[in-house]
Structures are given as C-alpha cells and as structure tokens.
Structure 1
C-alpha cells in the first residue's frame, strides 16, 4: 500500500476575488483519510481584480494552513499556472482544484480511495459517471466535452468518460516527469495523452459532483478553447509535441 503523508492541492486563479476565499474554506475544512496533510499551492495568473489581496488576507487569517503563493507577472493561461504549481509540489500526490465553486473538495477522499487501496497512480473525477449531484446547464457544452473525450480516447486507447474534468489526481513524480507545454486549456488533452504513455501506469476514474457555473457567473472556457483542444488531441496523440 502506498504511504501518503501529504497531498499537494494546485489552485490556478484568475479573477477569482469574489470566490477564492470560499473554495479555500472548503479545502481547509476537508479532513483527508488517514490524516494526510494538505499543501495548498495557489498560482495567481496575473489577475486584473484583487485576487492577490483576497489570497493574502486569507493567508493572514489562517496562519495554520500550509499555503504557498506564486504570482505570474503576465497572464499566461490556466495551463501555465498549473505548470508552476506542479513544479512546486512536494506531496507524494497532487490534485488540481479550480478556484471557482464548481467542484467539491469533500470528494478528495473519493479520488484518493483507489490510490490508498494500492490500485491507482492517477485518478480522474468524472462528472458523467455515478449518481453524484450535477447541475443541469448547457447541452452543447456537454456534447462538446463528450466528443473531446471520445476523440482523446481514440488516440490514447483509454476508456475515460470525462477527459476535460478539473479533478485529476496524479502521483507527483509521474506528472513532474512530463514535459508539458500547453499554456491554456490544452493542458487537459496534453496531460492525458502523455500520462497514458507512461509504462504500466494505472489510471482510474471515479464519479464526482459538478456545480457548474454559467458564463454570467464567471465561466471562462469558450468555443476557441474547444478548437484548440481538438488540435492538441491530434498533436499529442500523434506524438508531435
């Protein structure tokens, strides 16, 4: 059985002044199985609002939390923020946590379960599997996600149901050993393609909740990101990058 003493939680943030403290409260309050400690790594991708001030105020009022803070001097994209966070992780495993309120940190233990049972090196949280709560939103967005997952599976020979999910849990040494280059939302198909090629890697998937946001509520991904995702699936599926 793997011994996990620390989970690194990578939080990319861009213009999340209104919600960053709420998600940090949720991360703070979750009790991990086996008293695993938490390392929060927040990467501010040059927000134009007061995201930095909100984070610093939170750190001051919660000094007991292990929070690393890193700020990009120019906006580079979610993928670039994740690259920074991944490089700084010191836990045996790491998980990606968006700074909005679409995903529930209480489900970290669900993702950790196949790891702690000795079965998995990587765990994806699927919004389209199981009976967890799922906000009903955009038909075409959901169809697009499923199309991208199917296309990705054709190249990787995996049978994922949700390649585009935020909740991805990795053994830290595996993901730190990858050469990741996509700086925006192309991170998802790139990391999936490259992690799938690691010899004998064990990838699992568990059902998670999804409390999606509308664009008025701050959702940022758009159709151009979908086009880029198709490009990345083909590029990295054919090992051209």
Structure 2
C-alpha cells in the first residue's frame, strides 16, 4: 500500500534532525538505518546531525559519516545545551519540505518515518506524531512509573490544548516545514515536547497521530531523561498554554497564584512582626514582596511576558493596576463600614472585587 501510494506522490525532501549527546554506541547504526529511507526514489534525504558537545567519540563518528554520505551535515555546539537547543539549531538549518526528529539512541525505528510522512505528502496533515501507545509493532516493556508520568503529562497537555493525543512526549514528530517556520523554540532540554505540541495546537495546524514501535533503553544502556525533566514538562504545559485558556479557567489559575501570593504575604507579615518590626512597615513590606511574587508567577505560568509592553512598561502598568485595586479595596471597605456593614464582611467583599479587578487588569492592560 505504501509503495502504491508513493507512486502517485511527487518527489520530496525529508530533513531529519538527529540531536546527539554521547551516543557513540548507537549513532552509526542509527544513521545507517536512516539512510535506508533513500532507497525509495521519490524521497530525498537531508540528515542533520547536531552534536551537543559530546564527551565521547560521537562527533568523530558523525564526521566520518558526513565524509562518506553527501546527504549528511554535521553541526556542533561548543557547549552542552540540551535536546531542545539541538533541535532549534537543526530546524534553523533544514531545507526540506518536511522536517522530522530522530533521536540517535535507536529507541525509535527510522524506517517508520516513511509512513509518518505520508499524511504530510498527500496534503492531509501539517504535523504527524508517532504514538507508542496506539498498538501495532513490538514494544519493549520498561518502567511503570515512566508510563504513568507520560499518561499524566499527556492528559494535562490534551486538557490545555483540546487535543486527544495518546503520546504527547513521543520523540517522533514530523512537520511540514512551512507550517512551523515561524515557531520559535524556547526550551533547551526535554521541555521541547510539550512546548511544540502547545504551539502547533494554538496555530490550529492539522495534527495526525500514527502507531509506531518502541525499543526503549534502560538507564544502564544510556537513557538520559529523569524526574527533573518530568517536572519541567509539567511547567511547560502551563507555561505555553495558560494564556490561551478560556477566561473562566484562566481566572481559576489566577486564583491559585493569588492564593500562593497571599500565603507569602501572611508569612512575611508574621515573620517581620515576630522580629519586632512595626505594624505599618511589616504590612507594607509583606504587601510589596507578595506583589512581586504574584508578578513573577504570572509571567512564569499564566501570561506572556512583554506581550504588550517592554519590561519597564510592563512593571509600571502592573504597579498601577495593583495600586488602583488597592485604592478601590480601601474605598469599598471604608464605604461599607460607613453604612454599618461589619468590618470583616466589608473587607471580604472589597477583597473579592479587588481580586477580579487585579485579574482583569493583568489580562487586558498589563500582559
């Protein structure tokens, strides 16, 4: 079926980006498998190996392969930056109509790239993701907690992007180059996966998912991903999706940030009082520190930094919004108390209005 369909497709070039860090044991075998794809007359290859400052013979092996095969180019980082940085370098240099990611560790079978590129070539898709969990093909059985972690991250990513992927963290992602040409990759390590999924989803690109096999490695065999990368992936899901969320969900996320800032406010306030600092100074100091925490959490998790203003302008706008909300809070509290409302109730009502004003000010004026 694949060969029949290929006969009706015009020739195309597939750029395959191979990020590499200390993969001397598998790099040559991986590239030899990739080169088998060129036996099909209608698919030309451009193989870009990006050596991320390997400490072993990976770069030397890559150079030897480059000397023997005109399809191969080798790029080198002078310092180790991570998989995302290597892919950023490779994407920038790719010239083919389609761009694929191939890890150098051979956990993924390069020959399956041919079927992944088909929905791109026949015009159905802009992005194709290979799923290790859709069946079809052998799968090495490893690491229950990795499976659970991947399922949780994929679920959260789907919830934020409104997709129904089964394997967001899959390495096998193939793109139509023009579809992702203007996407700026920001993550340097394994945060690339949730970042790129978020960005192609928000661009409303046509995304397909296809079953692939998987031959995973153990840590003794060279697997590099760790729990810190899982935490970073979780952060990236929030970081690259939150500002696209519908207003009610985004407001709920802001309440969580406000709650954290409120806890900081209370802790600083009580701590300063405990050290004998006066009430006015303790109150003002705790408020300023909590406002700063709120700001940094907003730009880290919820809103786009410098989307409306440069940093200085953004901070000024933020201070004005906070100050305005503070004045409104004071005015409402005073007015309610003046007409006989209990002070505690007046403060709660004023605080609720202040939270809403703070959120709307951040969403529409600051970020």
Query: TM-score band (shorter)?
Result: over 0.9
Give 2:147's aligned residue.
142
Question: Counterpart of 1:91 in 2: which secondary structure?
Answer: coil
Q: Is the 8 A contact 1:33 1:109 kept in 2?
A: no
Name which of 222, 226, 233 aligns with 2:226: 222
Name which of 142, 160, 164 aligns with 1:155: 160
Q: Offset of 1:175 from its aligned partner?
A: 1.8
Superposed counterparts of 1:24-63, under 5 Å: 24-31=31-38, 35-60=42-67, 62-63=68-69
Question: Counterpart of 2:47 in 1: which secondary structure?
Answer: strand
CA distance in 2, matches of 1:177, 1:188: 17
Larger CA Rg, structure 1 vs 2: 2
Question: Counterpart of 1:16 in 2: which secondary structure?
Answer: coil
Give 1:198's aligned residue.
203
Residue ranges of structure 1 left out of the alignment (5+ in a row): none
Name which of 160, 170, 173 aligns with 1:165: 170
Q: TM-score, normalization: structure 1?
A: 0.94
When you count helix as a share of all residues, which structure comes out higher? 2
Superposed counterparts of 1:92-131, under 5 Å: 92-131=97-136
User: Aligned pair in 2 of structure 1 residues 31, 181: CA closer, same or farther (>3 Å)?
Assistant: same
Name which of 72, 79, 90 aligns with 2:77: 72
Q: Offset of 1:113 from its aligned partner?
A: 2.0
User: Aligned pair in 2 of structure 1 residues 180, 4: CA closer, same or farther (>3 Å)?
Assistant: farther
Give 2:137's aligned residue.
132
CA distance in 2, matches of 1:202, 1:180: 19
Give 1:212's aligned residue.
216
Q: Offset of 1:30 from its aligned partner?
A: 2.2
User: Aligned pair in 2 of structure 1 residues 113, 32: CA closer, same or farther (>3 Å)?
Assistant: farther
Residue ranges of structure 2 left out of the alignment (5+ in a row): 1-7, 244-302, 305-367
User: Aligned pair in 2 of structure 1 residues 75, 198: CA closer, same or farther (>3 Å)?
Assistant: same
Q: Offset of 1:50 from its aligned partner?
A: 1.3
When you count strand as a share of all residues, which structure comes out higher? 1
Q: Is the 8 A contact 1:32 1:109 kept in 2?
A: no
User: Aligned pair in 2 of structure 1 residues 56, 103: CA closer, same or farther (>3 Å)?
Assistant: same
Q: For 1:179-228, what per-residue CA distance to the aligned partner results, in whole angstroms no more than 9, with x for missing partners? A: 210000000000000010114x2100000000000000000000000000
**Could you list the runs of 4 or more consecutive aligned residues of structure 1 that deviate by over 3 angstroms after TM superposition?**
1-4, 31-34
User: Aligned pair in 2 of structure 1 residues 206, 149: CA closer, same or farther (>3 Å)?
Assistant: same
Q: Is the 8 A contact 2:66 2:74 kept in 1?
A: no
Whether 1:185 and 2:190 are equivalent positions in the alignment is yes
The count of corresponding residues between Structure 1 and Structure 2 is 238
Q: TM-score, normalization: structure 2?
A: 0.63
CA RMSD of aligned residues (A): 1.5
CA distance in 2, matches of 1:72, 1:167: 23
Q: Is the 8 A contact 1:32 1:108 kept in 2?
A: no
User: Aligned pair in 2 of structure 1 residues 145, 89: CA closer, same or farther (>3 Å)?
Assistant: same
